[in-house]
Structure 1
């Protein structure tokens, strides 16, 4: 089982590492433009997570339903579901992008963005929304491959798109060679080019398979919409909670000034990169669990989850301790501004080691959706963010400024992981005993 878990996870781990790596590199290039552009980008990040939350929620439902259909040997239905996801997801996400553009001013104002940043934010936000739609469609394509048990191809495309983005970033941000000097918006245009290339590759690959069909799609929608929305609805709410929490957390951090917001944005980029193994596991594990769920193999599910918990805790603790020890060097390397570097050096040692428990919580949420417990996943996600994390960050900011924010974030992650692990294990034990 351990070998199987490794074989399905390592391609996604490499893909996620490259994807998050270019996001981190993207912020490092922007950091050289100054504190204001980096702060502007940091303000947009939590709002960008709204789009990501919706696309991930759709992707979770996709992986769950298609993998269950394949587990029951219902291949024709799996193909109809794939078509529904690509069409319905594309329309839904396009409407979301338009709404976010229309509401941009009140959203960023409520987050505490200063008027001096509004021009930078608008210039970056317009191309980024188009980029986000292209990236969302690319993610849904990845979800189809994962649902069918193919993780190597999505991982390879992630690497290709990341390399394209890393090459285009400096060319468009700083105007190297024949390319225009676009500054902060250049980061969005570079990502748009890379995602477009990736979507073209995935589109060609899908056209060579019989995973999509329009035959019987209307009837399939009438039959499946309740089941799909029953998973996607709670999953979207679950995935939208982190962006909402990030909005509130950023507004708390904004009370400490632009340098703190810039450091917080860099720390969040580091968080995603540090959790790459966990993120890969949340992509590769649910389709496997869905097949086991469809076949009623609860003994295998139990053993698989225990193994996953052990891997996450050990791996993330080692990564967190190493990065915390290197925090003085990392903060100086990532931020050119001394004030931003100082704030980042405070955040890293408190936050990075706590990701061992945060990673456990993330695996629990993704696995709960695959096992037919979307409401439980939603409850765990809510408790993690609004009972454990945000109160600790808010209290920490009130008591000790940036030091308190760092400590509060770390304590909140630990509490969330302990709560999620205990809730999930109790439910899994009951199912295992019943089976």
Structure 2
């Protein structure tokens, strides 16, 4: 992980000054406006992909890139897990998009800005959970392949607990001091009020999101994605289905966000139960 970590962090150090340089046109850089941020991000990913591709092709990495025939068997095995795994980000982003549409229609753009700014904190938690979850894919898969089923379950439980603890720390901190995050992006009274309401209600449940999201990676290693996807679908159905009905009947964003917190709890508990109960090992 040293080389990819260095490439990612080193690229980020360059991306941070490159973005405003292309947006505002500093020195030799052209003034591109908002599109400059997009071009900076493209340059960051392109350079990172080239460097990591060269590293793998050079033979320095344990997993090297080599010419070979296209074979359906390994592709099928990858798609069996990867195809289902692609549904998880669809569920997550659909949830954010639909909640944004509901809040915008009900309370206007200022309230939407408050929710979107607060919910952005959840997106920042995902890389944290990804950092703990990605190793679990390999560790869980290797131990299941070696027949160490109980060890694979313990790896998932420990990794999930670590992600839950870190996510909960962020969520509780945001719930206690919501303006510390929200005021970085604006001072509109309605934006701060809606964002603070959201973080105070949902923030204490961030641990369940971190738990479910990290165990989703462990489930990939086990090749058992049914329950993580069911958990994601339940969260979407509760938040959008039950939540939108409650909002239409009461007009209360507080109740709407409370249902969202309950949906996050259901998601985390569902995925946790699937691992703790040993459903991975059912054939």
- TM-score relative to the length of structure 2: 0.86
The gaps in structure 1 that reach 5 residues or longer are 1-150
Task: Tell me the distance in 2 between the aligned counterparts of 1:164 and 1:336.
Answer: 29
Match for 2:55 among 205, 220, 232? 205
> Which residue is 1:247 aligned to?
97
Gap regions ≥5 residues in structure 2: none
Asked if structure 1 preserves the Cα contact closer than 8 Å seen for 2:153 and 2:278, the reply is: no
Trace 1:276-355 onto structure 2 (pairs within 5 A).
276-355=127-206
Once residues 185 and 338 of structure 1 are traced to their aligned partners in structure 2, the CA distance between those partners, rounded to angstroms, is 29
1 CA distance for matches of 2:252 and 2:39?
A: 36
**Residue number in structure 2 paired with 1:357:** 208
Alignment of 1:19-34 (within 5 A): none
Task: Give the Cα–Cα distance (whole angstroms) in 1 for the partners of residues 192 and 179 of structure 2.
Answer: 9
State how 1:18-167 maps to structure 2 within 5 Å. Answer: 151-167=1-17
Residue 202 (structure 1) shift: 1.0
The verdict on how the C-alpha distance between 1:305 and 1:223 changes in structure 2, with shifts beyond 3 A counting, is closer
Listed one character per residue, the Cα deviations across residues 125-160 of structure 1 (whole Å, up to 9, x for unaligned) are xxxxxxxxxxxxxxxxxxxxxxxxxx2322222212
Q: Does the 8 A contact of 1:313 with 1:359 survive in 2?
A: yes
CA contact (8 A) 1:278 1:359 kept: yes
**What is the Cα deviation at residue 403 of structure 1?**
3.1
The answer to whether the aligner puts 1:222 opposite 2:72 as a matched pair is: yes
Greater RCO (Cα-Cα under 8 Å, separation 6 or more) = 1
Q: Tell me the CA shift for residue 205 of structure 1.
A: 0.9
Q: Is the 8 A contact 1:320 1:353 kept in 2?
A: yes
Deviation of 1:356 after TM superposition, in Å, equals: 0.2
Contact 1:271–1:352 (8 Å) recurs in 2: no
RMSD across aligned C-alpha pairs, in angstroms? 2.5
Contact 2:176/2:200 (8 A) holds in 1: yes
Query: In structure 2, do the counterparts of structure 1 residues 396 and 270 end up closer, same or farther at CA, with 3 Å as the change threshold?
Result: farther
Quote the offset at 1:350 in angstroms: 2.0
Q: How far, CA to CA, are the matches of 2:118 and 2:30 in structure 1?
A: 29
| Equivalent residues of 1:390, 1:412 under 8 A apart | no
Distance 1:260 1:155 in 2: 37
Shift of 1:274: 3.4
Structure 1 residue 423 corresponds to structure 2 residue 274: yes
Equivalent pairs, count: 278
Cα offset for 1:275? 4.4
Kept in 2, the 8 Å contact 1:392–1:411? The answer is no
Instruction: Flag the structure with higher helix content.
Output: 1
Answer whether contact 1:263 1:344 (CA < 8 A) is retained: yes
Shift of 1:331: 1.5
Q: Select 2:21's aligned residue among 165, 171, 176.
A: 171
Once the 2 structures are TM-superposed, how far is the Cα of residue 371 of structure 1 from its aligned partner?
Answer: 0.3
Structure 1 stretches of 4+ moved >4 Å: none
2:31 is aligned with 1:181 = yes
